[in-house]
Structure 1
Amino acid sequence: MYLNESMHTALADADEDLIVFDLAGIEERYTTLLRELPDVAVRFAMKACPVDEVLACLARQGAGFDAAGPQEIAQAIATGVPVERIHYGNTIKSDRNIADAYRLGVRDFATDSLEDVAAIAEHAPGSRVFCRLATSGDGALWGLSRKFGCSAADAVLILERARAEGLVPAGLSVHVGSQQMTTEAWQDAIDRLADVLATLNRRGIRPDHINLGGGLPALGYLDKRGRLLDPPLDKIFAVIREGIRRLREVSAAPLDFLLEPGRYFVADNGAIRARVSRLSSREQLDGVRQYWLYLTCGKFNGLYEMDELQYRLVFPSHGGTEYVPAVIAGPTCDSDDAYAHEDNLVQVPKGIASGDPVWILSCGAYVTSYTTQGFNGFSPLPYLCVDGVSLEGLV
């Protein structure tokens, strides 16, 4: 991936560890999404990057927000977006959560169970509900296949119960899994939606919208072997466009469409400036001598997703020097705080020294929301937002 001039400058000028977000890059992704899918409204998945400046940037572009609880709802409202563009997208809600969201003005709630419908009817009377269908999660780095969503048969029962309870059975939703790498997952989700939509039409229920969820992939990740992931984004967009056309043909009423992208906007538009703690070598129990590169940033203060992917590292003060294969690890006393092992070591400069800067690219998604509040005494990363304009390839 490339850093634009503003990002490059911010990383180069930083004296301490921080994460930099490129607001212009986020705006560019938003423009691209609407160009590819002009028939959808965007509800940014706040959990991916609950940074006020990022939320304000997306709100200015016309996005709404997918919130997971009252605190996110309040943060979304603070951007100035109309509350009608905020929905409660979490199917897991306590009675108090529902009542608080209703008090804040939210009237659109996700659901996937009869019990949740009863609670919404009691604590958010007259609200609109959309039912989340389960998907397999196949093809995604994080499948989301068991905790959320219901069967097609349950979806019909749930929306019928919603209608009986005085709620508006307003829609259906899916989520194909986070960082979805295949077109087949989207096609399967659309098939499921079409089948349920047809059944609902026969039961006299006319949803007015379909929420296609999140899952749009970032482009700058490396796989566990250090190879650039190559999601077929253009083909994914084509499948979604065709799916929208098909679902409108199936529906007995006009349909609006929503998407809930998160990492697609922010992952490639965030980079961390960290430092080297130490490059060391130790003989392991199998007799093999192994290099370890310890960084000041790891799983618990920015790189939580390291279990499923690698991030591209840049060593700005070392070019053309001798490199050695190393395990990359964070600073804590936790054995899980490492993201390369055995057959997928990372090439690092042999001459690198404690205190040298390291840039970690395409890490803007979930870096702030997953961060602990100081696990093992290591502080969360501060952040900086820049508004880059030049897309020159500087890295």
Structure 2
Amino acid sequence: MWTLVLNCGSSSVKFALLDPTSGEVRLSGLAERLGSGAASVRVDRGGERVTHPLPGGSYPEAFGVLLSELGALGVRGDVGAVGHRVVHGGERFSAPALVTPEVLEAIRACVPLAPLHNPANLAGIEAAREAFPDLPHVAVFDTAFHQTIPEVAYRYAVPEAWYTQHGVRRYGFHGTSHAFVSGEAARMLGRDLSDVNLVTAHLGNGCSVTAVRGGRSVDTSMGLTPLEGVVMGTRSGDVDPGLHDFLARQAGLSLGEITAALNKESGLLGLSNLTNDMRELEEAASRGHAGARLAVDVFVYRLAKTIAGMSVALGRLDGLVFTGGIGENSAGVRAATLGRLGVLGFEVDKAANAQAVRGQAGFITTPQSTPALVVNTNEELMIARETARILQGEHA
């Protein structure tokens, strides 16, 4: 069964048609700038790339192009299911779910927890169900993998009513990626996933670190929202909660303005006053740009500090996994991070680390070191696998 995987954002739709067993990809692409006159769909057909303009810039129009592409390839009839990435499932979902009216209502109830993400996910699901009305649709939640985190790790030290009445707790995100790379890392280590303790670091424009014990998430760095945790591309990560009141009084900023700045103007961009792109920052730092150097150094320090903290949740650390755009491609960030983690027994292999870029997965530490490795994430494949698993269970 071929599975169509959809990742719908507020102005984009990322898609891939793949075999959940082999991982073979028949078609992939990205619709972007939806809602504007500049909207378009880029489609990759096994090495051939074409771009279609979308004058209307709508979700249905984007799905219409996708249907045409599937028809042109002669594979529309081969699609057996649609898997959807959904950012927030709250406490309701600890596993993927077949999309039903009740599930849609539950996703809608989580909108206050993810006001920028869940509405776009819902709009994408509804447009996809119109485009593919005869196929089963499955929602795969970023938060689901982290529902195994114990209460001691997910509760904030705030009034009880905030949790019981409003759901204020740590949820975590990037769960699909953390789940996928932990399984791959266990295989590379020659260990059974149920008997390996890992820290996984998903590092991209958004970044999170997770403690995975026996294949189950037991702590993670993101919290109620994806703003908590380590430094990211444009997100601050952890700050003093008193920051909002301080800036409201001192700078006259509104709650919305402060939150927007912490999400869109902070992180690597805010520290460097230059860019949120780690590649550009590393290049600028090598030329002596002080802001770029500071941004990279703060990123690495906070990352290493968080990785060390996550080891507390494991009892025994069997390996550290780097993934995501930065984790898979920045040898410099990996080396600097491991250099700060000697206390946990890490020692970088400079040659192996330098080679593990641009899709080259593998070990990047010396034989006597606690293992650290690069694993290429594949969230689309994981969503396809989870979709197939749910449907197999549904039909059993």
Same fold judged by TM-score > 0.5? no
More helix by share: 2
TM-score, with structure 1 as normaliser: 0.26
TM-score, with structure 2 as normaliser: 0.25
Q: Highest CA radius of gyration, 1 or 2?
A: 1
